[in-house]
Amino acid sequence: MSSVLPFESAPRLDEDAWDDLLNFIEEKRVIPIVGPELLTVETENGPRLLYEWMAEKLAAKLGVDTSRLPSPLTLNDVVCWFLATRGRREDTYTRMRSILRETTFAPPKALRQLAQITDFDLFITTTFDSLLENAINAERFVGAVRRT
Number of separate domains in the chain: 1
Residue 115 located in a structural domain: yes
Residue 90 located in a structural domain: yes
pLDDT of res. 1 = 39
Residue 1 located in a structural domain: no
Could you check whether the bond before residue 72 is cis, i.e. omega within 30 degrees of 0? Answer: yes
pTM for the model stands at 0.81
Residue 118 located in a structural domain: yes
Residue 59 located in a structural domain: yes
Q: Do residues 85 and 108 make contact, with C-beta atoms less than 8 angstroms apart?
A: no
Query: Which residue segment(s) compose the domain that 80 sits in?
Result: 29-140
Residue 46 located in a structural domain: yes
Q: What span, in angstroms and rounded, lies between the C-alpha atoms of 91 and 82?
A: 10
Q: What span, in angstroms and rounded, lies between the C-alpha atoms of 148 and 145?
A: 10
Neighbouring-strand partners of residue 33? 124
pLDDT of res. 107 = 95
Residue pLDDT tens, the chain, 148 long: 345 555 555 678 889 999 999 999 999 999 999 999 999 999 999 999 999 999 999 999 999 999 999 999 999 999 999 999 999 999 999 999 999 999 999 999 999 999 999 999 999 999 999 999 999 999 999 866 555 4
